[in-house]
């Protein structure tokens, strides 16, 4: 999600060794001794920073990030020569792509959805032309208008269509379940907020390029465990967000728009989460998405550095 479009505008764990032995077997245990394959990704909007595409790449190189989020609008206006030069610079500095936000409002009226879906193929074509293979969106856990079944059908049908379109361009779609109980009870009707429910939606969609956006904060708030994580394979995970929860609040009191950078409080068992990602051989981007006001108040470059330092601490837990 970008700085302009995030959920704010819409508004314990089982032992790793036991889970690995029971859930994924010797292959997962072998992965424990290997370097993790996931890559620390710079998504500036999520930390309150704003850069053009060229500056974004320079910031990633300067501070050690391994991936950057693509901006489809910026990429679309680049000339062929500019794109080629940009991609060469990424390659020379071992920078890969993160995940783009799904540019479709599928949650509201049919007209808005239809207006957006018309342009999805063009966006996907632009992203695919530079090697982007991941897009993502989120699922709100409550709704004022639709019952669970009505909302399920709406999400199944509209997201299936979107996934099918981008699938023709080799792009996967990640769906993020949103765990806080404070959001579940905000509106009249409850909806998906756990991994198990997310699996039901993905299965009902029936598109092979659909998986999860895993967020450590939502994983924690939903009461999911490492056992749940270890039911997944690399192909089931499109992108990962790393965040910590606020101290002094119970699980049920946590608020979606008020989080911490990974490792900031130690409320979320990040070592368990990171080791599980490594065991399922996840090889995609990991991003911070703390919705943290002190971080947003920082100078943009300082926020980039502080975020990298936090992400690196979490990354190192998987070694």
**Percent of the chain at pLDDT above 90?**
88
273 contacts 219 by C-beta, under 8 angstroms: yes
DSSP H or E run through 317: none
Residue with structure tokens 């059908």? 153
For residue 85, pLDDT beyond 50: yes
pLDDT digits (tens, 9 = 90+) for 125-164: 999 999 999 999 999 999 999 999 999 999 999 999 999 9
Residue spans per domain, the chain:
7-316
How would residue 26 be classed by pLDDT, with cut points 50, 70 and 90? very low
The CATH architecture annotation of domain 7-316 reads Alpha-Beta Barrel (3.20)
Residues 95-116, mean pLDDT to the nearest whole number:
96
Residues 176-195, mean pLDDT to the nearest whole number:
97
DSSP H or E run through 241: strand 237-242
Measured over the CA atoms of residue 87, residue 90, residue 95 and residue 99, the dihedral's sign is: negative
For residue 5, pLDDT beyond 50: no
31 contacts 7 by C-beta, under 8 angstroms: no
């Amino acid at each position: 999600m970008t700085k302009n479009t995030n959920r704010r505008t819409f508004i314990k764990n089982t032992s790793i060794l036991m889970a690995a032995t029971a859930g994924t077997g010797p292959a997962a245990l072998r992965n424990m001794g290997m370097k993790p394959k996931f890559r620390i990704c710079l998504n500036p909007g999520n930390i309150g920073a704003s850069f053009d595409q060229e500056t974004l790449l320079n910031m990633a190189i300067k501070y050690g990030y391994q991936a950057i989020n693509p901006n489809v609008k910026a990429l679309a206006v680049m000339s062929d020569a500019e794109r080629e030069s940009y991609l060469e610079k990424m390659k020379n500095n071992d920078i890969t792509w993160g995940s783009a936000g799904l540019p479709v409002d599928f949650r509201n009226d049919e007209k808005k959805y239809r207006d957006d879906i018309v342009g999805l193929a063009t966006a996907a074509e632009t992203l695919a032309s530079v090697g982007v293979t991941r897009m993502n969106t989120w699922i709100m856990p409550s709704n004022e208008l639709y019952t669970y079944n009505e909302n399920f059908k709406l999400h199944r049908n509209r997201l299936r269509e979107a996934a099918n379109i981008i699938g023709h361009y080799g792009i996967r779609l990640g769906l993020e379940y949103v765990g806080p109980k404070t959001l579940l009870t905000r509106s009249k009707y409850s909806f998906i907020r756990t991994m198990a429910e997310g699996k039901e939606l993905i299965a009902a969609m029936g598109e092979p390029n659909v998986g999860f956006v895993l967020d450590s904060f939502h994983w924690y708030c939903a009461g999911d465990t490492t056992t749940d994580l270890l039911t997944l394979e690399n192909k089931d995970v499109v992108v990962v967000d790393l965040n910590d929860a606020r101290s002094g609040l119970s699980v049920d009191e946590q608020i979606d728009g008020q989080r911490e950078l990974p490792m900031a409080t130690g409320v979320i068992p990040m070592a368990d989460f990171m080791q599980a990602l490594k065991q399922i051989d996840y090889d995609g981007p990991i991003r911070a998405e703390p919705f943290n006001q002190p971080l947003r108040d920082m100078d943009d470059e300082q926020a980039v550095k502080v975020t990298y330092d936090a992400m690196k601490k979490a990354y190192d837990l998987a070694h």
